[in-house]
Amino acid sequence: MPKSNILENRKSSCPSNESKVPFSSNCVRLSGYEWIFVGIITLALFCFGPTLWERIEKFEPEPDFRLPYELSNDYWLYSRYCRWAISKYETLVIGDSVIWGHYVSQNNTLSHYLNQMIGRDQFANLGVDGIHPVALSGLLKYYGRDISGKKVVLHFNPLWMSSSKQDLQSTKEFHFNHPKLAPQFIPKIPCYKDPYSRRFSAVTQRYAPFLNWTSHLKITYFENMDIPTWTLEHPYENPAGAVTLELPILVNDNQNEHISWTEKRITKKDFPWVKLETSLQWHFFRRSVELLTERGNSVFVLVGPFNEHMLKGESIGTYRKMKSKIEVWLQQNNIAYYMPPTLPSEWYVDASHPMSEGYTMLAKQLFENESFRTSILAP
């Protein structure tokens, strides 16, 4: 073939300047109007998605309901549950796993026995497993905004002051429960070492219902993973099929419910209690009391019952002095309270969790307490 023909063929096979693809090699391009349409849809989803989802997703708590353990970090659902409980119950019982009932089924918790004794559903279990006073303060401030004008039983577990580590004072990094609820910048939590990007994300999420809603979807339906990560773990499953619109059923593993701390052979301990005056956990618990009071709630504080049978050495005397100082603060601030006596040793599972028999006795003690009857049971 002549050389001139070869050159002509090459020229004809090369695209002209007019046929070159503009901008990029993307398969799909949107026009200006189409981008406006996408923007409107995205904005509508951002503003109204969480509200519309509440109409779609089934949420009908049964009596003695408590937040499922698997959803302990689902603060969007906790906020939704708060609104539901406020509309149905006169009194909200708030606290950590002692209130939630870590070693008992949901019909053996403190709120259950209180309802049983009064003969009607007055007490709602708003306990969260693993929540400590620092995190609880954030939970109430940002996700319990609707709790106002109610009767509230607020539990304080002294276990959170049993060491500098539990009190979050340790300067060594410590991965504690519910870090997103803790202060991200001020005041500084010594053991909290998360990067600033994660801290900014936690702060932003507190004020953006859309972000809380998407977090709810991840926790509830995608094993707390984003969709790309979830698809890698489940390559043959459709992500849309994972969204069942039904919340996980609470499964209670109570095989250790009736095994006491002595049967487990847990040894007595000399707890290195932190000073009440410098305790971070106590500081934030007081914040919770003040916040709930400012919102017009009638607050009753339940302290303990801590398993004093488990203490040895100087920790017994230190703990009792600390309790006396707590009592003084409650009295000075006109806060109704009850410090129950230590339960029988065989009714504790560990340092702070009672068995079902312990919850039964505690409910009876509360009903016999004059302050409880006046502030909580009175019409």
Query: In one letter, which amino acid is 60?
Result: E
26: confidence class by pLDDT, cuts 50, 70, 90: low
pLDDT at 249: 62
Residue 219 to residue 304: CA distance in whole angstroms: 31
State both tokens at 239. Answer: 């992500």
32, part of any domain: no
pLDDT of 165 > 90? The answer is: yes
Enclosing domain of residue 113 = 44-377
List the single range of 28-37, 194-203, 275-284 with lowest mean pLDDT: 28-37
Most confident among 130-139, 242-251, 258-267 (mean pLDDT): 130-139
pLDDT of 18 > 90? The answer is: no
The pLDDT tens digits for 113-157 are 999 999 999 999 999 999 999 999 999 999 999 999 999 999 999
1, part of any domain: no
pLDDT at 7: 47
105, part of any domain: yes
Q: Which residue is listed with tokens 């919102």?
A: 295
* C-alpha dihedral sign at 321, 324, 330, 335: positive
13, part of any domain: no
pLDDT at 336: 98
pLDDT at 49: 74
Query: In one letter, which amino acid is 40?
Result: I
pLDDT of 20 > 60? The answer is: no
> Residue 231 sits in a domain of what CATH number?
3.40.50.1110
Q: Which one, of 144, 157, 63, lies nearest residue 109 by Cα?
A: 63
310: confidence class by pLDDT, cuts 50, 70, 90: very high
240, part of any domain: yes
Q: Are the C-beta atoms of 139 and 131 separated by less than 8 Å?
A: yes
- Do you find a cis peptide bond into 68, omega within 30 degrees of 0? no
Beta bridge pairs of residue 123: 91
pLDDT at 162: 97
217, part of any domain: yes
The answer to whether the pTM exceeds 0.95 is no
- CA distances to 8, 9, 18 from 13, in Å: 9, 6, 14
2: confidence class by pLDDT, cuts 50, 70, 90: low
Sheet holding 91-94, edge to edge: 123-125, 91-94, 151-156, 298-303, 336-338
pLDDT at 255: 45
Q: How many domains does the chain have?
A: 1
CA angle 335, 93, 57 (to 5 degrees): 140
261, part of any domain: yes
pLDDT of 269 > 60? The answer is: yes
Residue 336 three-state SS: strand
Who has greater pLDDT, 12 or 77?
A: 77
pLDDT at 343: 97
35, part of any domain: no
State both tokens at 41. Answer: 């849809």
Most confident among 12-26, 168-182, 229-243 (mean pLDDT): 168-182
The pLDDT tens digits for 53-104 are 888 998 989 999 999 999 999 999 999 999 999 999 999 999 999 999 999 9
pLDDT of 186 > 60? The answer is: yes
Using DSSP bridges, classify how beta strands 123-125 and 91-94 pair: parallel, antiparallel or unpaired.
parallel
Burial class (CB in 10 A: 0-12, 13-18, 19+), 183: middle
Residue 240 to residue 169: CA distance in whole angstroms: 44
pLDDT of 176 > 90? The answer is: yes
Who has greater pLDDT, 262 or 2?
A: 262
Q: Which one, of 106, 115, 13, 16, lies nearest residue 66 by Cα?
A: 106
Residues 6+ apart with CB under 8 A from 118: 367, 377
Helices (H), the chain: 3-13, 32-56, 75-88, 97-100, 110-118, 133-138, 196-207, 209-221, 227-233, 239-242, 280-294, 315-332, 356-368, 370-372
